[in-house]
Structures are given as C-alpha cells and as structure tokens.
Structure 1
Amino acid sequence: MVRRAPSVVPWWSRWWVRVLAVYAASRVLTTILLLILAGVQGANPWTAAHPSYFDFASIWDGRWYNIVSIAGYPSTLPTLDGHVTENAWAFMPVYPGVVNALQFVTGMSWPVAAVLLSVAFGAGAALLFYRLLVRVKLSPSTSLFAVVLFCVSPVSPLFQLAYAESMYIFLLTAALLLLVERRYAWLFPVVLVMAFTRPSGLAFALALAFHVVYRWVVRRRDAFPVRDRVLSVSLAVFSGFAGLAWPAIAGLVTGDLTAYTDSELAWRAPYIGYTHLVPFASWFQGADWWFTFMLQLPAWLGIVTLLVVVALFVVAQFTPAVRRLGVDLRFWVAAYSVYLLAVFFPSRARSGC
C-alpha cells in the first residue's frame, strides 16, 4: 500500500494571510480617503492648513493622548465660569503609555509612533475577529466576509489614527474570544488593561453577569463546575471595579469625586450646555438636539424615532442571523447597548463616557 504524502496548503491560502491581505487592501483605501481629507483641512488649533498625513492622523483626540504622554493629568481641573472644561482626564493612560514605550525604543516622533501602533493593533484585531467568528461556528467564507465589512466600515479609518480605538478593539476581541472559550483566568489581565484603555469595565461586567446567569440556568445540560462559578463571578466583580477605577483615580487626584464624568461631559456642553450625568437621558437629549436644532423638526418626532430605533434593534437581536453568533456575543452586544444608552451622547464630535 502506497502512502500519499500529506497535502501542503499554499501559504497564500492560509487564513491569516487572507485576513491580513484584506486589512492591507482596506488600509490603502482609507489612506487615500484620509489624504483627500487632509488636503482640504483648514488651519485649526492642532495643525496648519493642509497638514501631512501623520499630522492629520494625530489631531483631535490624538493630540489629547499626546498631551497625556507629555504632561500627564492635571491635579486641578480647568474651569470656565465654574464649569469643568475639556481636559486630559477624559483620556485613559494605556494607549499613550504604550506609544511612549514605542517612541523610547524606536526614536519615532509621536504622530508616527501613534499611527503605526494603531495600524498594528488594527491588524491584530482583524485576525482575532476572524478567529472569534470561526470559534462561534460561522463558516470560514462568512467569517472572511465579516472581516471585509469590519475593515471597510465607515469608522474603519480609526484603525490608522492616533486614537485608542484600535488597541481597545484588539483587547475587546481577545476578551470575547477568551469568554467564548471560557478561559476566565486569562481574562483578568485583559479586562484590567482594557478598562484603562477605553471605558468598558462596567459594560463587560454586565455581559459577564448575563453569562454567569445563563450558565447557571443551563447547568444541567452544560456543566458549570465550581471552579468556573468562582472564576466567572469573581471576574464579573473584578470587571465592575475595573470600570470604576479610573473615575475613582481622577476623583482622588483632583479632590473632585465627579472629575471624570465632568471632564467627559465638557465635550457635549457645546450642544446641550453644562449638565450633570443622568443615566439614560443622553440619547433623549441628543434626539432633541438633532431634531430641533439640526433638522428643525418637532422634538417629539426625535423621541418617537429614538424609541422606534431601539425597538427595532431589540427585535433584530432575536433574528436567526444574529442568533448564529451565540449567546456570549449577543450578551456583549446587549450589555454594551445598555451602557451606550446610559451614558453616550450622539453628536457629531466626541461624545464621551
């Protein structure tokens, strides 16, 4: 009997090569778009008119991260007429810290180091996103198509800006993959770093709470060992404390218990004035602003539109296509949606929290 040699898979057909090829092609497209925008960018507080690519890619929030990397955080909150104004406390420390480390090793300037770091984390996020979808039993072709959408979505240029989003999405995707695989112990450091990269700890804690309750309910057909119970519950509590840690640090350093939320709210003040953070009020305030100020339409129409959109979103979570993602990814979508409804303000600029 003649044995056949095992077939060798060509390197260009390996899953990671295809994912990286999609990511690279999408970066060409988004780079062209950003260069076009940079070409028409006028003079602003961050750059002169028509800035270079790296200067354009590191303005706005990128400059705030740069400020954090150079000067850290103020011990006294800046105010105007008694109200806290925009300041560095709204930007978490992990991303600028890693950029600083890259600068130290390579000698790169801030804009170059920050942008290249974001590009690298974006590539890592695309790879993990594909593995996550395959892990929840989507076909390789469907998973690759999802990667294409992931890489060319309207917000995908963020993968090559000096923003923390690339790093955060990389960490989030890693966390979701570990959650699906029930590797709770490995999640502790990921959750901690993630919570100091972008606001996420409270939302992930809620997703973990959903996960724990579900595993308890179905424990007769899907074993829920004592070790998993202890680790998963501990992880949910840990994630909640991690989500509260940065606001607590801001309060301790500045002596103002609401330093972090007041700093975040400063970005929405140009739209609705200075307000306190009232959970679940932001979207109604945003709907009122968009419909009355921007569209010149009755305020009640904005409220009705918002409620209809939320209802349609909830219904969509139970459609067959979404159910194929599995319970854990749907728990995250539900938890993060609740978090966004609680604190996010939908505006044309940075919305905070």
Structure 2
Amino acid sequence: MSTEPAVRGLDRRAAEQAGRLAVALRTAAPALLGYALVRAVGVGALALWGARRGTSGMGRLSSLWDAYWYQAIAVHGYAGTVPRPGPYGPYEPYAFFPAYPALISAVHRVLPLPPNQAALLVAWAAALAAAWGIYAVGAHLYGHRIGVITAVLWGVTPYAVVESAAYSEQLFTAFAAWSVYAALTRRWVWAGIWCLAAGLTRPTGIALAAALCTAALWEVVRRREGLRAALGALIAPLGFVGFLAWVGTVKGRWDGYFRVQDAWHSHFDLGRSTFYSLRDLFTRADQVWLTDVVVAAVLACSVVLLVVSALQRQPLVLVLFSAAMLVLALGDAAYFNSRARFLLPAFGLLLPVANGLGRLRSRSSLALLLASAALMSAAYGGFVAFVYPDAP
C-alpha cells in the first residue's frame, strides 16, 4: 500500500501549522518589538553603569548570584557542582530546578558559546517567549492593544533587569503565560503540559499548578470540559512533584528539598518575616536602602492590583495564579529584597494597569508614559546590579 497520501497529509498539516504560527507571530510582532525595545534600553543603561565602573554590564548580567548555580549545574551536573558554605548551612545545587540549566547545557553543547553566553541566550529567548505569551493572554481577554501594552509593561517593572539576566524567571514566566493561555482557550492538556514544564523550572511552579488544577476541576464540576480538564489537572503538578521526589531520593529523606532550602533560610512562615521587614522599614532610625522601599511599594501595589483584578472579573485561573504568587512572595522567609523578583511571573497583575493605559486616546501620551517607565526601570536596574548587587 502506498504511503504517499499519508505523507502528503502530514506535509499539509505541517504547512498549515507553520502558516498559523507565522500569522500569530506577525500579530504579536508589535508586542515583541515593544518589549525588546524597552529591554534594550535597560541593557544599554546597564552597559553605561558598567563602563563608569570599569566593568562589563553584560558580564554582570551573567554573574548575578543565582546565575552561578545555573551555569555550574549546566556544566558539571548536580552531583559535580561543589556546595558553598553559608550562614545557615552549605548552599547546594539541589535548591535549583533543572529546566533552565538543561537548556543552557544544550545550547552550550550545540553552539560555540561559553556557558555564561549560552545562559544569556536562553534567558533572552525565554523572555521573548514570555512576552509573547503575556501578549496572547492580554489580547485574548481584552484585545490586541491591551495585549501589546501588557507585554511592554512587563519589560518596565522595577525589577525588569532580572528579565535580561541569567535567571530562570523568564523561562518560568513563558511556561506560565502559555499555560494560562491554553487554559483560557480550553486546551487543558496543553495547559497541563506547560504547567509541568513550569514546575521543572522554579519552585513557584506549585502556584501555577494549584491555580490550574483548581480552575480545571471547577470546569469538571460544571461539566463543561470533563475528561480533558481532569487530565490537564493530573499533568500540571508532575514537574514540581517529580523534582522534589528526585531530590528526596538523592538526599535519602522525603523532605530533602526543603532541608536544602534551609541553607538559604527559605521557608514559608505565613508572612512573619515580611511583617518584621516592613516594620523595621518604618520604625528603624538607621539607613534605609532604596531597594527596601521599592520592594515594599511593589508588594503594596501588588495587593491592590490583585483586588482590582478580582473586581474586574479576570478568569479564575489567572486570578488564582496571581493570588498564589503573591501569597508565596509575602509568606516566604527568604531575603526581603527577593520578593519583588518572585512576583515577576505574576503578569496578571499588570492587566488592570494595561486596561487603564489602554483608555488613553493619545498615542504620544501612551508612548511618553511607557518610555519614562523604561528609563526609570533601566536606571533602577543599574542600581540593583552595581550599587546593591544582592537585591535580586
């Protein structure tokens, strides 16, 4: 029996899918170009900061604290990466999830790039994929204009410098955005698969999995999706749970991952550490760092934006994801200045701001506001990277 009809059918489907992808890319092009432009401003400002200090801004992007661990794991693996001493115990590579180091390793092996450049290439590609996903969610809910604005806003947040660094937030945000988009378009199995990938990228994958599972099971209860939603809910937490199970096996105890995190003093304390940090910010008479003020402002604004998101009746999966990310950021006992970075993937919190900006009739006014935000974000990013480098 001839296989030519089957082959022609596969070629036709592949061509159709490529055509749809090309159309989607052209539609999202303004968002991607706008995002790339504002991040180019941030990277350019970082280069200027570095030049004034006789160092490389690009080198700084690939050498911030967590970047070392991702690159070491990519080159040496978990077992071959040497722990480092810390105040609460040895820092170990098992605190870091495997998706980002695995991609760095793949790019490093395929392309003639050193690990630090491979790490930046993966991070920047992931940031564009995240901006595309954010645009897709915003455009699906509120239209093309709001989608573009939301993607650009993600590039001018106070801690947007992290989006250009060798960190895993960009990859996690990309997986999260496309998982949410898949759920919104009722592709529940794909939503679960993207969520599984997010769970292999960062510990906050549990927030996405909780949001997606709750939304999927709600659809099952309403009998609107049935099997597909239930299957997506089953797939969603497998990445996060699988990595924790693997670390537990390596460490010989079920809570091995959490004991590794003790060295970073990272655990959920119901917000006690956040409360003490905020209390000290307002009551201590000694020097207050700008980063403390900015992080406090980001947390306060995030709470307000979450309430507005709920009042605007954002879809359940999006509100739950934003809420879960905010709970983790407020409830973690790790460094106070890391909390704004933890909230970078909570892109749903930007939608109320994007909706407000979308009501501006003057394009020049909108462009001026976004350009001003880009310059402020760039200046603060340089401060974070060079003046207060432990902030991320």
**Structure 2 counterpart of 1:93:** 98
Q: Which of the pair has the greater relative contact order for Cα pairs under 8 Å at 6+ separation?
A: 2
Kept in 2: contact 1:286–1:345 (CA 8 A) = no
Q: Distance in 1 between matches of 2:158 and 2:75?
A: 31
1:186 counterpart SS class: helix
1:195 lines up with 2:191 in the alignment: no
**Structure 2 counterpart of 1:38:** 50
**Structure 2 counterpart of 1:347:** 336
Q: Equivalent of 2:212, from 208, 214, 219?
A: 208
Q: Residue 321 of structure 1: CA displacement?
A: 8.1
2:129 counterpart SS class: helix
Kept in 2: contact 1:84–1:262 (CA 8 A) = no
Kept in 1: contact 2:104–2:115 (CA 8 A) = yes
Kept in 1: contact 2:31–2:147 (CA 8 A) = no
Residues 171-320 of structure 1 aligned to structure 2 (within 5 Å) = 171-215=175-219, 219=222, 224-225=223-224, 228-268=225-265, 277=267, 279-281=268-270, 283-292=271-280, 296=284, 316-319=305-308
Q: Distance in 1 between matches of 2:58 and 2:87?
A: 36
1:58 lines up with 2:62 in the alignment: yes
Kept in 1: contact 2:245–2:254 (CA 8 A) = yes
Q: Residue 339 of structure 1: CA displacement?
A: 3.6
**Structure 2 counterpart of 1:8:** none
**Structure 1 counterpart of 2:312:** 323
Residues 289-332 of structure 1: CA deviation (Å, up to 9, x unaligned): 453389527xxxxxxxxxxx999966754537852533331122
**Structure 1 counterpart of 2:325:** 336
**Structure 2 counterpart of 1:132:** 137
Kept in 1: contact 2:88–2:262 (CA 8 A) = no
**Structure 1 counterpart of 2:372:** none
Q: Distance in 1 between matches of 2:38 and 2:151?
A: 10
- Provide closer, same or farther for how the CA distance between residues 236 and 335 of structure 1 changes in structure 2, counting only shifts above 3 A: farther
1:73 counterpart SS class: helix
Q: Distance in 2 between matches of 1:313 and 1:81?
A: 31
Residues 257-310 of structure 1: CA deviation (Å, up to 9, x unaligned): 433223323223xxxxxxx84x443x212321453389527xxxxxxxxxxx99
- Provide closer, same or farther for how the CA distance between residues 113 and 171 of structure 1 changes in structure 2, counting only shifts above 3 A: same
1:165 lines up with 2:154 in the alignment: no
**Structure 2 counterpart of 1:272:** none
Q: Distance in 2 between matches of 1:293 and 1:314?
A: 18
**Structure 1 counterpart of 2:373:** none
1:72 counterpart SS class: helix
Q: Distance in 2 between matches of 1:160 and 1:196?
A: 21
**Structure 1 counterpart of 2:156:** 152
Higher helix share: 2
Q: What are structure 1's unaligned runs of at least 5 residues?
A: 1-10, 42-49, 269-275, 298-308
For normalisation by structure 1, the TM-score amounts to: 0.74
2:127 counterpart SS class: helix
Q: Distance in 2 between matches of 1:35 and 1:76?
A: 30
**Structure 2 counterpart of 1:111:** 116
Q: Distance in 1 between matches of 2:336 and 2:88?
A: 20
Q: Distance in 1 between matches of 2:35 and 2:307?
A: 30
Q: Residue 99 of structure 1: CA displacement?
A: 1.3
Q: Distance in 1 between matches of 2:277 and 2:234?
A: 36
Q: Residue 68 of structure 1: CA displacement?
A: 0.6
- Provide closer, same or farther for how the CA distance between residues 181 and 108 of structure 1 changes in structure 2, counting only shifts above 3 A: same
Q: Residue 79 of structure 1: CA displacement?
A: 8.4
**Structure 1 counterpart of 2:41:** 29
State the identity %. Answer: 23
For normalisation by structure 2, the TM-score amounts to: 0.68
Q: Distance in 2 between matches of 1:156 and 1:140?
A: 23
Q: Residue 163 of structure 1: CA displacement?
A: 1.0
Root-mean-square deviation (Å) = 3.6
Q: What are structure 2's unaligned runs of at least 5 residues?
A: 1-22, 286-297, 343-392
Aligned length: 309
Kept in 2: contact 1:133–1:325 (CA 8 A) = no
Q: Residue 124 of structure 1: CA displacement?
A: 1.7
- Provide closer, same or farther for how the CA distance between residues 145 and 315 of structure 1 changes in structure 2, counting only shifts above 3 A: closer
Q: Distance in 2 between matches of 1:74 and 1:84?
A: 18
Residues 178-233 of structure 1: CA deviation (Å, up to 9, x unaligned): 0111111223332222111111332123212431354356x3xxxx34xx323323
Structure 2 residue identity aligned to 1:338: V
Q: Distance in 2 between matches of 1:262 and 1:22?
A: 42
Kept in 2: contact 1:191–1:201 (CA 8 A) = yes
